[in-house]
Amino acid sequence: MCGITGWISYDNDLTTQRPTLDAMTATMACRGPDAAGTWFDTHAAFGHRRLAVIDIDGGRQPMTVEHDGRTQLVTTYSGEVYNYRELRAELEQLGHTFRTSSDTEVVLHAYLQWGEACTERLNGMYAFALWDPRTQELLLVRDRMGIKPLYYYPTPDGVLFGSEPKAILAHPAVRPTVDAEGLAELITFTKTPGHAVYRGMHEVRPGHFVRVNRAGLTVSRYWALEAREHTDDLDTTIAHIRALLDDIVARQLIADVPLCTLLSGGLDSSAITALAAGALAAQGKGPVRSFAVDFVGYTENFTPDDLRGTPDGPYAHALAEHVRADHRDIVLDTATLMDPGHRAAVLAARDLPNGLGDGDTSLYLLFKAVREQSTVALSGESADEIFGGYRWFHDPDAVNANTFPWIAAGLSGRFAGGHATREALLDTGLLGKLDLPGYEARRYREALAEVPYLDGDTGHQRRMREISYLHLTRFVQILLDRKDRASMAVGLEVRVPFCDHRLVEYVFNTPWAMKTFDGREKSLLRAATRDVLPDLVAERVKSPYPSTQDPRYGEALRTELRHLAADRDAPVRPLLDATALAEATADHATNDIRPGAELVLGMNAWLRTTGTTLEL
């Protein structure tokens, strides 16, 4: 896993622009702490920061393919292709020769052999740029599910690109500017494919190419979810899902560095950990190492809420004992969560203050601790979107609402529940200008217009296909981006087995009645993995990523809000509702301010540290 960046300029000689490329590349150091590299051509400049995972010595980048002393192709590449060994063997049969053992070189030769069609053969998570000196063309490619990020910024004579916005913003020609649409995207709980919030910047959509040449820039799609008839019966479906999971986990255990799993004690992470334990044992390796996040006093003082009925700790420990994992809890306290340095690191990692408050900080701190012992971690992310795990999948009001179901279920407030909203402290005039409900409605209609159907999709089955599509193309992007930024901020590679496109395609087309055949959430996943799980874990009801329940956390937020209210130079002040701010900071105030306070405090730090201009 790595950080990539680059610059294409058809009107300039980029060999004279090393300081600018070095500055762009330096912003990616967190994603690639092991090595740095640059490559220059007259009209192309590539930068790379490497996190060495496969072929430690031979996988340095940017990487080129030479023939008769001339460069045929160059790449700056981030990600992992899990079937690279099979592809390498096939390419060798076709006459290709390799000088390294890396998957990066396999991608280069795959493109030389099959062109853009090579992406149809790649199984993995990746974002990469290819420059062909012969045609003077650039190709930007992003994996099918959007696990790895990739942004671009068209210029009058080419393009800038990078794994994260910060790489592009390091270019002197780019100014961080956010307009009304960008601010609406930031505040609402949406993740519009291709939208990057910053004006003029775009994100390469999952499953898409961006091709750049002297004629301009074109975007094309190479993969999308399709509606296909599901003909397997229930037993065959369960068996096929298990076979896929066994293959996926085994592939994603390949690494030349220490590896672990992230274990919450929920069905998803427990299934991955148990399957990993079994695969490692079959290879004569192990035990599997696992990590969980926890908070001081959380289990002992846990109070159930609308989203979480149980604390994670007992379930994580039960699974770890069941598979004999080498398990460690990362236990955090409120002072650590509120530490200004940690919160600044999270903001720097995400580039934008659109996160999940203490959930982001705790995730960052979990990954920071994991990185001390492992370089690669397997996660249970995305199983809920694929198998129908969230409670709103099973809430008729949320399912039938004329908006994104997670918004209808109240998730735009906060993961921890409650009635507060992210926009609670913002000026009413600003909110009127942004028209957040209208923005959400437009994005919802755009998403629905993409949904593929079968002729037989009617009634509830048709609606649940829509709900699944919304989660697999919108909601999951919020969580994948969050996990990628938090992990790569500390140089940890997180793999997401449930995002294997073969599994996603198969389960997407499985009828909803079969996905809930036992009347519960994630019926198919539970049935497919029950034999490797203790009953306590297999029967556990979905509980989202934990959020601290320590009342001192809310008090600390309120104290920070009071400091902000007293700071006349606070850059976020013009955006706030004075009355709402006064009520939130009043003595003895007890109203829930967490989502609004976390957004406002984050926006203030963002505006102050990045110099972003709001043009509303």
What does the pLDDT read at residue 415?
Answer: 38
Q: What secondary structure letter does DSSP report for 174? A: -
Lowest mean pLDDT, pick from 452-461, 506-515, 541-550: 541-550
What does the pLDDT read at residue 420?
Answer: 66
pLDDT band at 591 (very low <50, low <70, confident <90, very high): confident
- DSSP string across 79-145: EEETTHHHHHHHHHHTT---SS--HHHHHHHHHHHHGGGGGGG--EEEEEEEEETTTTEEEEEE-TT
Active site residues: 2
Asked whether the predicted pLDDT for residue 4 surpasses 60, the reply is yes
Q: What is the pLDDT of residues 181-240, one digit of tens each?
A: 999 999 998 999 999 999 999 999 999 999 999 999 999 999 999 999 999 999 999 999
Asked whether the predicted pLDDT for residue 571 surpasses 50, the reply is yes
What does the pLDDT read at residue 561?
Answer: 95
Residue 524: how many other CB atoms lie within 10 Å: 24
Asked whether the predicted pLDDT for residue 154 surpasses 80, the reply is yes
What does the pLDDT read at residue 308?
Answer: 87
Say whether the peptide bond before residue 574 is cis (omega within 30 degrees of 0): no
Kindly state the tokens that stand for 335: 């002072």
Q: What is the pLDDT of residues 53-93, one digit of tens each?
A: 776 677 789 999 988 889 999 999 999 999 999 999 999 99
Whether residue 242 contacts residue 279, with contact meaning beta carbons closer than 8 Å, is answered with no
Q: What is the pLDDT of residues 416-440, one digit of tens each?
A: 333 468 899 999 999 999 999 999 9
Tokens 């009801």 belong to residue: 541
The 10 Å CB-count burial string (b at 16+, else e) for 100-109 is ebbbbbbbbb
User: With 0-12 CB in 10 A as exposed, 13-18 as middle and 19+ as buried, what is 341?
Assistant: exposed
Asked whether the predicted pLDDT for residue 567 surpasses 80, the reply is yes
SS3 of 519, please?
coil
pLDDT band at 168 (very low <50, low <70, confident <90, very high): very high
List all residues 6 or more positions away from 73 whose beta carbon is below 8 Å from its beta carbon: 64, 65, 108, 111, 112, 130, 131, 132, 133
Whether residue 252 contacts residue 497, with contact meaning beta carbons closer than 8 Å, is answered with yes
What does the pLDDT read at residue 226?
Answer: 98
Q: What is the pLDDT of residues 91-115, one digit of tens each?
A: 999 999 999 999 999 999 999 999 9
Tokens 């294997």 belong to residue: 500
Asked whether the predicted pLDDT for residue 167 surpasses 70, the reply is yes
355-361 long-range contacts (CB < 8 A, ≥24 apart) are 355/482, 355/598, 355/602, 356/414, 356/415, 356/482, 357/414, 357/547, 357/594, 357/595, 357/598, 358/547, 358/548, 358/553, 358/598, 359/415, 359/545, 359/546, 359/547, 360/482, 360/486, 361/337
**Residue 376 to residues 9, 54, 105: CA-CA distances in angstroms?**
36, 11, 21
Selection from 56-60, 278-282, 546-550 with the highest mean pLDDT: 278-282
Region 122-128: mean pLDDT is 97
- DSSP string across 44-56: EEEEEEE---SST
The packing angle between helices 551-566 and 594-610, to 10°, is 50
List all residues 6 or more positions away from 413 whose beta carbon is below 8 Å from its beta carbon: 419, 420, 421, 422, 595
Torsion angles phi and psi, residue 229, rounded to 5:
-65, 130
What does the pLDDT read at residue 1?
Answer: 63
Residue 229: how many other CB atoms lie within 10 Å: 8
Number of H helices, E strands in the chain: 25, 19
Q: Which of 427, 436, 402 is nearest to 188 (CA)?
A: 436
Longest CA span, the chain: 77
Positive or negative CA dihedral for 423, 425, 428, 431?
negative
SS3 of 230, please?
coil
Share of the chain above pLDDT 90, in %: 86
Whether residue 32 contacts residue 491, with contact meaning beta carbons closer than 8 Å, is answered with yes
What does the pLDDT read at residue 255?
Answer: 86
Ramachandran class of 479: left when φ > 0, alpha when ψ lies in -120 to 50, beta otherwise: alpha
Torsion angles phi and psi, residue 333, rounded to 5:
-115, 170
Region 457-463: mean pLDDT is 96
Asked whether the predicted pLDDT for residue 411 surpasses 90, the reply is no
Kindly state the tokens that stand for 466: 């829509």
What does the pLDDT read at residue 35?
Answer: 87
